[in-house]
Amino acid sequence: MNTAELVDLGQQLRVDSVRAADAAGSGHPTSSMSAADLMAVLLAHHIRYDFDRPAHPGNDRFVLSKGHASPLLYASYKAVGAIDDAELATFRRLGSRLEGHPTPRRLPWVETATGSLGQGLPVGVGIALSGKRLERTGYRVWVLCGDSELAEGSVWEAAEHAAHEHLDNLTAIVDVNRLGQRGPTRHGHDLDAYARRFQAFGWHTVEVDGHDVDAVDRAYGEAISTSGQPTAILARTLKGKGVEAVQDREGLHGKPLPDADEAIAELGGRRDVRIHVHEPPAARMLHAVRAGHLELPRWDKGTEDGVATRDAYGQALAALGTGRGDVVALDGEVSDSTRAELFAKEHPDRYFECYIAEQQMVAAAVGLAARGFVPYASTFAAFLTRAYDFVRMASVSGAGINLVGSHAGVAIGQDGPSQMGLEDLAMMRAVHGSTVLYPCDANQTAHLVGAMASLEGVRYLRTSRGKSPVIYGPEEEFPVGGAKVLRSSDRDRLTVVAAGVTVHEALAAADALQGQGIAVRVVDLYSVKPVARLTLRRAAEETGCLVTVEDHHEEGGLGDAVLDAFVDGRPVPRLVRLAVRTMPGSAAPDEQLHAAGIDAESIAAAARLLVEEAIVR
């Protein structure tokens, strides 16, 4: 396209953005209008994409980080013929593919869900990592960002990671339109302020008038020709560009234009320009999965001194990497503690060190999953709280990622509460469609690590620091959604439900109570979500009372998971919950468990009290 045609295409994208928001009665047309020329040049001259084959391995990848500007994205889809005008008019309606913020669940051309600002660039880094280090097909990743979201720390985690990895296949296009939701941004139109920041992280930068289509064209060409570092194109634009009533004016964010017909006339009227984007180059199919022999590690039941579940995780992950070429691992600079270092040593080409940047770690996992890989991302359970919004948005994307939180609970001992994951089960259980697993021994851990690779959605595995007895044989099976009954008789007076470290405390308590003539059933609830409803219901019916014991805060953890078994009108059993209710300090692991009231002695005391109360009644 020549200059006039590019300008005309930009105007069409503005008109269709205005029309879509007007039909919906809501949306963000002014945020779309500022970036219309940036998108027009990208579509017409630079992006290589086959819209009939969104999975084509040679396709460039585009991420709309400023997801509220979805009218611009959908107007672009119309311009390339991916959707028609009738579908454009369904924007934000019930059942429409054209949601207020785009998601890959609905549209095959969307790489990741956006709308929570500051996430598009971090995920784009993950996609670019896949392209440069794993797939090597030569595709480029284009990320359109807003200037407001550059206030998010996650953007700068992404910037540093991208520069460290020399991702010259990544271009961030920053729409510097000066206005955020409630008023001006921190730096307004000061492009140099943004350039200094990107340059400090090691990026090549280009400052440009975002409405000069020829200048934008040259900027994209410069990005493509830059080698060894990512490029940030900083484009000065005007929010609501082209319509005097809204252009560069405050107070109009997230609102349809006051008079759409008048605005469309001012923009030159409706158009129906169709463009053909460049075809992607021929490329091999997405990473051939090199399948080896999958042999998970095995431990003999009763192994002397026990095995930490974090150690079992590391060994199982390394074995899984040998058996499956699509498995990749990421870690937040604690791989010697999480034991992800075992995977890194055996499969360095598929290991990604994210340093202490948990948001970027989870985002990179989402990007790698978008490219068909099966990522395992690990750090201390406590530190995953920093990345929770990325976990939440991974669910919105339908991303298949495996998260592993080590050093969970008070059982870590002397490090104290800042290092103790005591909220993680609640956090991960609340994620839509998630799976939450908490193994208690090495063989169980290995089995679940392998099973996670074939599950859907967000999967979370909780591991422990200290060594635990190996109570299961290597041939034992642990289906997701199941539980193991470890002690049972027809004389059981109550059931203790435990997971992870508290399973061993429950077994010790049951042995002590058995010597006192009190039979106790013990259930290992290794699958916290989904929960083994039938096992729990049967235990409640046969023993009359359930006691849950967990190395986690009371809210949202194991006890609440157990209650899920009785939500469909079934009578709720008598339930006693032992959990961490105080703020821990520093102490030895056994002292921590006792202080929290979740050790064998505390479980036995609670059981005796329940039996005595039952006798009195």
Active site residues per annotation: 358
Which amino acid, 193? Answer: A
Q: What is d(CA 30, CA 19) in angstroms, rounded to the nearest whole number? A: 12
**Residue 234: C-alpha distances to residues 125, 170, 197, 404 (Å):** 18, 14, 12, 37
Asked if 357 contacts 160 with a C-beta cutoff of 8 angstroms, the reply is yes
Strands 327-331 and 351-353: what pairing? parallel
The token duo for 547 is 């006691």
**Residue 28: C-alpha distances to residues 14, 121, 144, 174, 188 (Å):** 11, 20, 15, 17, 19
The token duo for 139 is 């595709």
Cis peptide before 479 (omega within 30 of 0): no
Rounded (10°) CA dihedral 78, 279, 141, 168: -150
With DSSP H G I counted as helix, E B as strand and the rest as coil, what are the percentages for the chain, rounded to 5? 40, 15, 40
Q: How many CB atoms are located within 10 Å of the residue 380 CB?
A: 24
Asked if 311 contacts 339 with a C-beta cutoff of 8 angstroms, the reply is yes
Residues 6+ apart with CB under 8 A from 455: 400, 435, 480
Residues 6+ apart with CB under 8 A from 591: none
Strand order in the sheet with 435-437: 351-353, 327-331, 374-380, 401-406, 458-462, 435-437, 527-529
Q: What is d(CA 600, CA 597) in angstroms, rounded to the nearest whole number? A: 9
Q: Annotate 81-110 with DSSP letters as a single string.
A: TSS-HHHHTTTT-TT-S--SS--TTT-TT-
First-to-last CA distance in the chain? Answer: 87
